[in-house]
Structure formats: structure tokens, C-alpha cells
Amino acid sequence: MYSFSPKLRLYSIILIVLGVVLFGAGYFMNHATDDTQIEHMMEAVHAGGNDLPSHSSELIGPQDQEAHLEHAKMQFKNQPLAAIHTVSVFLFALSCCALFFYAIQTASHAGWSIIILRVMEAIASFIPWAGAIIIIIMIMNVTHFGHLFHWMDPELTDKSNPHFDPILYEKKTFLNIPFYIVRTLIYVLGASFFAWKLKSLSKKVDETKSRSVYAKYYSWNVGYIVFFGFCSAAWAWDWLMSIDPHWYSTMYIWYAMVSTLASSIATIMLISVYLKKSGYLPHFNDNHLHDLGVFLFASTMLWTYTWFAQFMLYWYANIPEEVNYFYGRFEYYGWAFWLILVLNFALPLSVMVSSSIKRNYKVMSTMAVIIISGHWLVYYNMVMPGTVGPYWQNITGLLTNVGAVLFGLGLFVFAVFSALSKLKLIPEGNPFLKESKIYEYPF
């Protein structure tokens, strides 16, 4: 039985408190910024003579100075909510992907991974925590306390209003507040239910060692795969792609999902190695590490393919509504746009090709941290340009983002390791456990 280290618990609490303090400081500084200061920021952004819109919503409605200032104010004030939205959606998707990876192991009758099933269950325990934050953000947006989602403004679908947006009017069957609320609740409550159900059935399999109970457990795992397949696509549309509602990509759902799938495998690897080095998971060896490394490398290369396909095809088409999505990221987030490729493609490809490297605990742990960081940056690059625009280069943007990351990391560590301490680390009732204990990679 794992015992939550007092030192690790203390570190997680320090991260939470530090994150709240930094985020709070950034929040109050952000809301203390007046219109004159924001106008100066707007002038600085366009000082180089580049006044092209960084978001397709700026192409609609009045184009005078007052309208541009109003849009700049909204983007600047979005900083705190955008920061916590990025972290919460990333961690929710990561936790759901860990449960998806878990369900695939059971549905495919995989034997090698049984020894680390409890690690995946513990990560999935974070789903309700991240989901609760997402619901709070949803409430803030639908009550117009937040402005992350441009399409929620009722003026944009009113034909008599000067801000009328014909593109959003055509999409309002799907992009409307009541339906958005229902979908968000389905994603959060559904995923939370599956996390609870699969954990309880797994525990029951241990207690009874019954084949009939295992068959039921197997069926619920298949059910989650189906749920995840539909909902991971839809929440990528709702929580991420609808930030830029004039633009869409058929590759986007794969791009967003595979990003957090790679991050979830990296997280499973880090926790498994930590438990191994702490003496709690003696049966975990370099063969299991190698297989996790194979999945991590494969998912990273798959993400690279989706990145290339989405970017190259849209850029090559040169359609203004589509290219505008990339323009804002090139112009104001170029550092993130290209750093993503270094962290998530160039480094993994350079380091992780060798089979022997995948058995090296230090190298693979380092690569796991790099890949998680890189894929958080992917989500940052999906959210920030459409919500904050060019107004991120200031102390308030730094404080809110660093604060949100530290808070999310601290809460994740606290929740996951607390859940892990309540679980029996070895699933004794699983019929494939012996295969996992003696597993040896055949090549």
C-alpha cells in the first residue's frame, strides 16, 4: 500500500498556495489597469505599422478606433480566465486520456500493463477536480462575467445589430449557450462517472476474483472507449476550437486529443518511475518502461503528423478566414509556435528512437517532463491567441499563467497521490497479473 510522502504532500500544498498568490496578484493587477494604459498597449502593438487583425472576429462589425479599443480591453481582461481555462482543460483532457489508455489495456487483454493500472486509476481520479473548475469557468462565461467565447455575445446573431456576424448566425444551431451548458455537463459528469465506476469495479475484481465481475468490468471499459471517442471530439470543439469560431479544422480533434494522450502516457511513466524508485512498485522494470516509451514516442510522432497536416493544408489553401488563425500565432506567438515543434518533435525524435534509450530511467523521465511541458504549450497556443491576442507580453499575463500552472500542478499532485494512497497498488484479482509480473520485451 502506497503512503503519501509528507514531503511530497507539503510540496504540493506549497505549489497550490504559491499558485493562488501569484494568480491573485496578476488578477488584481489586471483589473486595476485602466483604459488609458490599455490604449497605450494597443498603440505599442501596432507601432510597427502592422495593424492587421489577429483574430477573425475583428473582421466583423465597426472598424473605428472605439471598436478596436473595446476589443483590446476585452482581450487584456481575458488574461486570468484564459490562463486557468488552459490549465483546467489540459489537465481534464490528460486525466481522461489516462483513463482511455487504461480502458484500451483492458479491452485489448493486454498483459504487460497490469502492474501500472492503479497509476492510471489514480490519474483518472483528477477528472472531477478539473471538471469542477471547467464548470465554474462555464458559468462565468455563460453569465458574461468572462468573455473567452466570442460567439456567446447575443448581438452577433441579431440581424438588426451592426455587429451581426453571418458566419456565427449559421453556426448558432450548435454554438448556443443552452446546448453548450448541456454538452459541458455531459462531458464532465460522464467522465467522472466512468472514472468512479471503473475504479469501483476494479476494486470488486480484486475482492471477488470473479470472472463474471471481470466480464462486467471489461464491458464498462469498452463503454468508456465509446464515450471518450465521441466526447473528446466534442469538447475540443466546444472548449478550444470555438474560441476561434470563424475557423474550423477537421484535424483539430485529433490534434487536441493526441496532445494530451502523449502527456498522459508521460505522466503515467513519471509516476510509475517515482513509485519504483520509492520501493512501492518492485515489479515495474525496464521492460514496462520500454513499452511506455514506445507508446510515448508513437503518440508524439502522431501528434507531429496532425500538426503538419492541419498547418500545411490550411496555409497552402490561403483562404483569409483560415490563414487568419495562423497569422495571429505567427505574429504574436511565434516563440510558442516554433518551440512546440522543438519540444514535441525534434527532441523526442533525436533522443527516443533507440530501443536501449527507452530503458533508461533518467533519460525517459526527463523526456516525459519535456513532452508534458511541450503539450501544455500546445494548449496555451490554442487558447491564448484567440482570447488574449497580442496582449500577453506584460507582468499580469506572466503572473496569471505561472500562477495557474503552479496551482494546477500542485492540485494535480495532491489529488492523484492522495487517490493512490487509498488504492491497493497491485491489482491482485486481475487474471493477467502474472503475465505483467514476468513480462519481458521480446526484442
Which of 46-60, 170-184, 209-223 shows the lowest per-residue confidence on average (mean pLDDT)? Answer: 46-60
pLDDT digits (tens, 9 = 90+) for 133-192: 999 999 999 998 888 998 998 888 888 887 788 888 899 999 999 999 999 999 999 999
Secondary structure of residue 365 in the 3-state scheme: helix
Torsion sign (Cα): 256, 259, 265, 268? negative
pLDDT for residue 325 is more than 90? no
For residue 108, count CB atoms less than 10 angstroms from its CB and return exposed for 0-12, middle for 13-18, buried for 19 or more.
exposed
Banded model confidence at residue 205, pLDDT cuts 50, 70, 90:
very high
Which of 48-57, 214-223, 233-242 shows the lowest per-residue confidence on average (mean pLDDT)? Answer: 48-57
Could you identify the residue written with the cell 502506497?
2
Banded model confidence at residue 232, pLDDT cuts 50, 70, 90:
very high
C-beta atoms surrounding 62 within 10 Å = 11
* Residues contacting residue 55 through CB under 8 Å, at least 6 positions apart: 150, 244, 324, 328, 385, 386, 389
Which of 37-51, 98-112, 386-400 shows the lowest per-residue confidence on average (mean pLDDT)? Answer: 37-51
Closest of 23, 147, 146 to residue 87, by C-alpha: 23
* Residues contacting residue 338 through CB under 8 Å, at least 6 positions apart: none
How many Å apart are CA 222 and CA 257, to the nearest integer? Answer: 18
301-327: average pLDDT = 79
Q: pLDDT higher for 237 or 439?
A: 237
Could you identify the residue written with the cell 488578477?
27
pLDDT digits (tens, 9 = 90+) for 81-126: 999 999 999 999 999 999 999 999 999 998 899 999 999 999 999 9
How many Å apart are CA 58 and CA 54, to the nearest integer? Answer: 8
pLDDT for residue 61 is more than 60? no
Q: How much is the pLDDT for 22?
A: 96
Banded model confidence at residue 386, pLDDT cuts 50, 70, 90:
confident
pLDDT for residue 66 is more than 80? no
Banded model confidence at residue 321, pLDDT cuts 50, 70, 90:
low
CA dihedral in degrees (259, 412, 180, 399; nearest 10)? -90
Q: How much is the pLDDT for 68?
A: 65
C-beta atoms surrounding 203 within 10 Å = 16
Banded model confidence at residue 60, pLDDT cuts 50, 70, 90:
low
pLDDT for residue 234 is more than 80? yes
262-266: average pLDDT = 97
Closest of 255, 375, 236, 372 to residue 306, by C-alpha: 255
Banded model confidence at residue 72, pLDDT cuts 50, 70, 90:
confident
Secondary structure of residue 314 in the 3-state scheme: helix
